[in-house]
Amino acid sequence: MSAMRASDMNIKGEVVAMLGFAGAAVTLWLGMMWAPSVSISAFKAPDAQRIFYWHVPSAWAAMIAFGLLFIGSIYWFFKRSDWAWRLHVASSEAGLATGLMCVWSGCIWGAAEWGVPWDWTDVRLNTFAILTLLSLYLVMGRRSQPDGVETRDTFAAFGMFGFALVPLTYIATRLWQIRHPGPVVATSEGSLNSDMSIVLFLGAISFTTLTVGYVMAGMRLTKLEMRLEELQGQYEERMK
Amino acid sequence: MMGIIDLSEATVLRGRSKVLDKWSISVNSGEIVCLAGENGCGKSTVIETASGLIPLENGSATISEQLVRDSEGRRGRPNFGLCLQDDCVMGDEIVGERILDAAGFDFDVQGLLKNWGLDHRIHDRVAMLSGGQRRKVALLSGLVPAMISETPVAVLLDEPDSGLDDDSIKNLADTLRNLAAGGHAILVSSHDSRIIEVSHRVIRFPFEEEKFDQEKGKFTLIGKGNPRKSNVGHRLNQRTLSGLANNGIAGLLTLGAMLALLDPTQLEGRILTAFILAPALTAGLCGNPIHRLSLENRAYAWWSTKSAIPQNAIIHSLILCGGLTFLASMITSGFNWQLILSGAILGAATEAVVGLLSNATLRLARPNAVMIRLLTPILILPWALVVDTLTA
C-alpha cells in the first residue's frame, strides 16, 4: 500500500486561504487609505476607527469558525465521524487565529477611543474573549493529550457547550450596551456610508474565504497527521 | 432473566482501539466470575464499564436490574461494591471512616478490620499505611456493601490480590466464597490461581469460558446500624484545612496586595465594591480544594460511582469567602451584610464552576496538562456585573 494518496496532495484549501489572505490585505489597504473618514465630532479618535475594517470582518470570520467548531464537535460526539473531528481541530485553530485578530484590534481601538484597552464589565468584550480563550484551550489542550476517544469526547464537549456563548456574544450589545458600540450593519438606523460598506463587505468576503481555506487546509493536515500515526502503528506492529 | 451484574451488547472504545465489541456478560446471584488473561486484554475495561466509569458506544450496564450506564449517556448509581486496580483512597481519609463510608451504614468496623489485621490502624490516615495495608482498605471498601447486606449485592473487583501477602489472598478467596454463599454476585479480574480456583466461571480473554462446580462457603452477615451520611468533602477539608491553605491564602494575598497599593480610606463607588469582593473571587478561582485531594490514587473515580456530585466542601467555602469579604469590608467601609453575603455566594459559586470545569477533564489521559485555567476568565464577568449591580 502506498503511503501517499492523491487526496493527500490536494492543496485547494491552501489556494482558497491565499485568496482570502490577498483579499484581507486589499481590505486593510482600502480601509486605511481609501475609505472615508468618520465625523470628528462622533469619535474621540476618528483615525483609529479605521481599524474597524479589520476588526469587524475578523469578528465575523471568528463567528463562522466557532459555528464550524460547534458542528464538528456535535457531529463527532453523536456520530463518531473522523471527518467531524478534523473539522473540530481545524475550526478551533481558525477560531483562535481570527478571534485573536479581533481582540487585538479591538484593544488598540479601545485604548485610542475609550482610553482603556479593556472593560471587564462589558458583556460583548468578555464573551468574545472567552470564545477566543476557549479556542486556545482546545488547541493547546488537544496538543497535550494522546489522540483517542477520551480526548475527542472531552474537547468536543467543551466545543459544544462553548458555543452557547456565540448567541450571547451576538445579542450582547443589543441587551446590554455597556461600552462596545451597537450594530451598524443590517439595522434600521442604516448609519454606514456606502464606501464604508463596500470596504466592510470586501473584508467580510475576504476573511470568510481565508477562514474557509484555513479550515480546508487544516482538515487535510489533520488527516495526514492521523494517517502518519496509523502508519507508525502499523510499522511498530510489523517490528514486533 | 437478568443477572445481578449485566453488561449487554457493550461496545467500548479506549484510546484509538475498540476494546469491547458488542460484548455481553451476566453474573447471577451466588456466582463468582473471574476474568483472566494477559495484561492489556480488557479485564479492567470490563470492570470499569460494569461500574459505569467508562462511556459505552453501544449497549448498557445494569446492576440489580437498575441502570448503571448506557450508550445514550443515562447514568444511575445503584448500591454495589467496587475495588479498582488503583486503590482509589485519598491519603487523608481515616481507615475506619472509609470503610463506613463505603458501607453507607454504621456497623462494628473494628471487628471487620481485625479479621484483616488492620484493627490497630482504625484511626490512622490512609497515607500512614504501607502499600499492602492500603490495598486492604481499598479491597474492604469493595467487599463491605455485600458483607452487611442480606439481599444480593454486586461486587466488582479489579485485581484485588495485587500487593497482598499470601495469607491475605487466602483470606480474600475464602471471603469471596462466603459472599457467594450469601447470594452476592462477584465479578473479579485476577491472575492468581487461588482466586481462579474459587470461581464458578473463568473467562479467559479473548473470550474462552470454563465452568466449575465449587464447594459452598458460609455467609455470616455483619449487623448494620443507622444509615450514614458521608460528607467526606467537609470532613477532609476540616482535617486538612486544604480550603484555607489554598483558597483562603490566595484571597488573603489578594487583599494584602491591594492594601499595599491602594489607600482603603480613599476608595469609593465601584472601586470600593470591587476591592471588597476581589478576595472572594480569587479564593473561588482556586477551585474546589477537595478536587485536588481526590486526584490521589484516582479516588475521584471510586467516589463518582457513589454520588453524581463531586466531593466538595461548599459550606466551608461559603464561610471562607464570607469571612474574606467581611475582612475586606471592615478594613474599608465597615460592616455591610449585603456585600458579605454577595461575596460568600460569589466565591462559592466561582469555586463550584472551576471545580466542575476541572472535573470535566478527568477522563483525559493527562488531566493536569490541559490548562483548564484558560477558561476561568469567564468568571470575572459575573463578578464585574455583581460589582456594578451592588454599586448602582
**Cα separation, B86 vs B83, whole angstroms:** 8
Which residues of chain A neighbour B16 with C-beta distances below 8 Å?
147-149
Nearest one of B321, B329, B307 to B352, comparing CA atoms: B321
Mean pLDDT across chain A: 85
**Cα separation, A181 vs B153, whole angstroms:** 63
Which residues of chain A neighbour B370 with C-beta distances below 8 Å?
137, 140-141, 144-145
- Nearest-Å Rg of the Cα atoms of chain A is 20
> Kind of pairing, strands B154-158 and B80-83?
parallel
pTM of the complete model = 0.81
CA B319 vs. chain centroid, Å, equals: 24
Which band of pLDDT confidence, cut at 50, 70 and 90, is reported for residue B194? very high
Share of chain A above pLDDT 90, in %: 42
pLDDT at A232: 84
Q: Is the pLDDT of residue A77 over 90?
A: no
DSSP 8-class letter at B334: -
B310 within 8 A of B361, measured Cβ to Cβ: no
pLDDT digits (tens, 9 = 90+) for A138-166: 999 988 888 888 889 999 999 998 888 88
Question: Per CB distance under 8 Å, which residues of B are interface residues toward A?
Answer: 13-16, 55, 57, 360-361, 363-366, 369-372, 374-375, 377-378, 380-381, 384-385, 387-388
Residue found under cell 482501539: B17
Which residues of chain B neighbour A141 with C-beta distances below 8 Å?
361, 369-371
A124 within 8 A of A166, measured Cβ to Cβ: no
Q: Is the pLDDT of residue A6 over 60?
A: yes
Which residues of chain A neighbour B390 with C-beta distances below 8 Å?
none
pLDDT digits (tens, 9 = 90+) for B312-368: 999 999 999 999 999 999 999 888 999 999 999 999 999 999 999 888 888 887 887
List the single range of B170-179, B212-221, B335-344 with lowest mean pLDDT. Answer: B212-221
Query: What amino acid occupies position B342?
Result: S
Mean pLDDT across chain B: 92
Q: B378, B385, B389, B391: which to substitute to probe chain A, counting the most A Cβ within 10 Å?
A: B378
Share of chain B above pLDDT 90, in %: 71
Which band of pLDDT confidence, cut at 50, 70 and 90, is reported for residue B84? very high
Q: Please give the C-alpha separations between residue B35 and each of A217, B46, B110, B141, B160, in angstroms, as whole numbers.
A: 47, 9, 32, 20, 12
* E strand segments, chain A: none
Q: Is the pLDDT of residue A237 over 80?
A: no
Q: Which three cell numbers stand for residue A218?
A: 487544516
pLDDT digits (tens, 9 = 90+) for B262-317: 888 888 888 899 999 999 999 999 999 999 899 999 999 999 999 999 999 999 99
Q: Is the pLDDT of residue B71 over 70?
A: yes
B175 within 8 A of B163, measured Cβ to Cβ: no
**Cα separation, B184 vs B155, whole angstroms:** 7
Which residues of chain B neighbour A126 with C-beta distances below 8 Å?
377-378, 380-381, 384
List the single range of A44-53, A63-72, B244-253, B293-302 with lowest mean pLDDT. Answer: A44-53
Higher-confidence residue of B275 and B371: namely B275
Which band of pLDDT confidence, cut at 50, 70 and 90, is reported for residue A1? very low
Sign of the C-alpha dihedral, residues A108, A111, A117, A119? negative
User: In this predicted complex, what is the ipTM?
Assistant: 0.74
List the single range of A36-40, A75-79, A213-217, B63-67 with lowest mean pLDDT. Answer: A36-40
pLDDT at A162: 83
3-state secondary structure of A144: coil
> Kind of pairing, strands B32-36 and B185-189?
parallel
Where is mean pLDDT largest: A2-6, B90-94, B291-295? Answer: B90-94
Instruction: Write the DSSP assignment of B215-248 as a string of letters.
Output: ------PPPEEEE----HHHHHHHHH-HHIIIII
Phi, then psi, of B204 in degrees rounded to 5: -100, 125
pLDDT digits (tens, 9 = 90+) for B196-205: 999 999 998 7
Contact between chains at B370 and A134 (C-beta distance less than 8 A):
no
* CA angle B86–B139–B289, rounded 5-degree value: 50
Q: Is the pLDDT of residue B377 over 90?
A: no
Contact between chains at B384 and A80 (C-beta distance less than 8 A):
no
Measured distance between the N- and C-terminal CA atoms of chain A, rounded to whole angstroms? 20
Q: Is the pLDDT of residue B57 over 50?
A: yes
Where is mean pLDDT largest: A48-52, A96-100, A173-177? Answer: A96-100
Q: Is the pLDDT of residue A167 over 70?
A: yes
Which band of pLDDT confidence, cut at 50, 70 and 90, is reported for residue A37? confident
> Which of left, alpha, beta for A118 (phi over 0: left; psi -120 to 50: alpha)?
beta
Mean pLDDT of B42-49: 93
Contact between chains at B365 and A148 (C-beta distance less than 8 A):
yes
Which band of pLDDT confidence, cut at 50, 70 and 90, is reported for residue B49? very high
Instruction: Give me the total of CB pairs closer than 8 Å, taking one residue from chain A and one from chain B.
Output: 81
The length of chain B in residues reads: 392
B351 within 8 A of B283, measured Cβ to Cβ: yes
pLDDT at B180: 95
pLDDT at A10: 78
